[in-house]
């Protein structure tokens, strides 16, 4: 029988540690043992909470009713400090990939800090506009869901609001080509809502995803205004073109385009960079679409079996 604290165990643990440590020299892609720290997941999540407090005042934290400017101002200052530093880390990480000695390049580090500040200010300057867009998203959810009792209930509880809010923030950073952080944000949204919107997607006004679990919206998808979709909808890639070395080619339009006023019911899958769902169409549930659909179409499972697209105008 093993005695919990005997010499044998001590030796085993020492061996285990040495074995693990040895692998730190092998599997470099899953190590980050470097003087260039990665952005902190906890900080990014913390800042997203601050954004919610600013964007939806009074919903998720108590606010001091008098002199709200101070409350907002303090949150904005906090985001400025922390996010600019996290973005600087993400730039530094990117430089490090090309130059392992970035930590001893003063100019490089200063550039990272500067770019972090600029990107953060750029985002902060868009909050007022973001709020206007998000108010439309809330209104879309309220008018699109008969079980919603009020916009307050929607703002407070609907996962679509969490997902679209985080997407709209992450998308601004993505468009500024910030490494790592936009995806950290979108995967946080994914984890808490089951909705996976790539920060690179383009999404118009008054967007609503009901229920939402399992929705996937790919990097190069493009969505118009007044689009509504349900749980389990995928806007995905059809095939990944590869180059002559067999490596996937990145940064191509691989995901579909959804025009204005489209409704896509639960579980449907729309694939391909050239696939366009024409405006004012309705896509039924569980359908699988890899070809474009004209405006005002109404597509159901049966249609597809017959490869027929029936134009209808919803009354």
> Rule CB under 8 A: is residue 204 a binding residue for a copy of itself?
no
Residue from 46, 101, 191, 274 in contact with a copy of itself (CB under 8 A): 191
Distance in Å, CB of 224 to a copy of itself, minimum = 20
What is the C-alpha to C-alpha distance for residues 56 and 149, in angstroms, rounded to an integer? 18
**Complete edge-to-edge strand list for the sheet that includes strand 228-230:** 208-210, 228-230, 263-264, 282-283, 297-299, 310-311
Total site size for a copy of itself, rule CB under 8 A: 141
First to last CA, the chain: 78
Distance in Å, CB of 210 to a copy of itself, minimum = 8
- Residue list 291-310, contact with a copy of itself (CB under 8 A): 300-302, 304-305
Q: Three-class SS of residue 276? A: strand
Q: Give every CB contact of residue 271 below 8 A, 6+ residues apart in sequence.
A: 234, 235, 236, 237, 238, 255, 256, 288, 289, 290
Distance in Å, CB of 151 to a copy of itself, minimum = 4
Distance in Å, CB of 300 to a copy of itself, minimum = 8
Distance in Å, CB of 271 to a copy of itself, minimum = 7
For residues 21 and 308, which CB has a smaller minimum distance to a copy of itself in the complex?
A: 21
Please say whether the dihedral angle defined by the alpha carbons of residues 192, 193, 198 and 201, taken in this order, is positive or negative: negative
- Residue list 255-284, contact with a copy of itself (CB under 8 A): 265-267, 269, 271, 284
For residues 216 and 276, which CB has a smaller minimum distance to a copy of itself in the complex?
A: 216
∠ CA 16-19-25, rounded to 5°? 145
What is the DSSP secondary-structure string of 129-157? Answer: HHHHHHHHHHHHHHHH-TT---HHHHHHH
> Rule CB under 8 A: is residue 68 a binding residue for a copy of itself?
yes
Residue from 67, 99, 101, 175 in contact with a copy of itself (CB under 8 A): 67
**Beta pairing, strands 222-223 & 282-283:** unpaired
- Partners of 212 in the beta sheet? none
Contact letters for a copy of itself, residues 25-44 (x by CB under 8 A): -xx-xxxxxxx-xx--x---
Q: Per this entry, what is the length of the chain?
A: 315
Residue from 53, 71, 89, 257 in contact with a copy of itself (CB under 8 A): 71
For residues 11 and 311, which CB has a smaller minimum distance to a copy of itself in the complex?
A: 11
> Rule CB under 8 A: is residue 50 a binding residue for a copy of itself?
no
- Residue list 130-189, contact with a copy of itself (CB under 8 A): 131-132, 134-135, 138-139, 142-153, 155-159, 179-180, 183-184, 186-187
Residue from 49, 70, 175, 312 in contact with a copy of itself (CB under 8 A): 70
Residue from 99, 101, 252, 312 in contact with a copy of itself (CB under 8 A): 252
- Residue list 79-98, contact with a copy of itself (CB under 8 A): 80-81, 84, 93, 97
β strands within the chain, DSSP E: 196-197, 202-203, 208-210, 216-217, 222-223, 228-230, 234-236, 257-258, 263-264, 269-271, 276-277, 282-283, 288-289, 297-299, 310-311
- Residue list 223-242, contact with a copy of itself (CB under 8 A): 230-232, 234, 236-237, 240
Q: Three-class SS of residue 193? A: helix
Distance in Å, CB of 218 to a copy of itself, minimum = 7
């Amino acid at each position: 029988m093993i005695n919990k604290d005997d010499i044998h165990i001590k030796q085993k643990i020492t061996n285990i540690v040495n074995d693990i440590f040895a692998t730190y020299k092998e599997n470099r892609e899953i190590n980050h043992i470097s003087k260039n720290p990665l952005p902190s997941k906890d900080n990014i999540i913390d800042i997203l909470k601050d954004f919610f407090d600013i964007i939806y005042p009074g919903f998720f934290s108590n606010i001091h009713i008098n002199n709200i400017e101070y409350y907002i101002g303090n949150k904005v200052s906090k985001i400025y400090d922390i996010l600019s530093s996290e973005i600087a880390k993400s730039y530094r990480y990117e430089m490090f990939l090309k130059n392992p000695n970035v930590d001893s390049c003063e100019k490089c580090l200063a550039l990272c800090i500067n770019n972090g500040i600029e990107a953060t200010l750029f985002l902060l300057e868009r909050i007022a506009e973001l709020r206007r867009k998000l108010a439309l998203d809330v209104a879309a959810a309220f008018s699109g869901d008969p079980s919603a009792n009020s916009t307050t209930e929607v703002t407070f509880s609907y996962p679509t609001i969490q997902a679209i809010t985080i997407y709209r923030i992450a998308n601004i950073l993505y468009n500024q080509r910030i490494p790592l952080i936009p995806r950290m944000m979108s995967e946080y949204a994914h984890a808490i809502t089951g909705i996976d919107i790539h920060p690179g997607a383009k999404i118009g006004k008054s967007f609503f995803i009901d229920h939402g679990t399992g929705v996937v919206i790919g990097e190069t998808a493009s969505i118009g205004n007044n689009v509504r979709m349900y749980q389990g909808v995928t806007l995905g890639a059809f095939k990944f073109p590869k180059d002559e070395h067999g490596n996937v080619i990145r940064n191509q339009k691989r995901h579909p385009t959804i025009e204005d006023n489209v409704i896509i019911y639960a579980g449907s899958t729309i694939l391909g960079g050239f696939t366009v769902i024409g405006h004012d169409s309705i896509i039924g549930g569980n359908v699988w679409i890899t070809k474009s659909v004209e405006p005002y179409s109404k597509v159901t499972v049966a249609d597809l079996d017959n490869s027929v697209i029936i134009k209808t105008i919803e009354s």
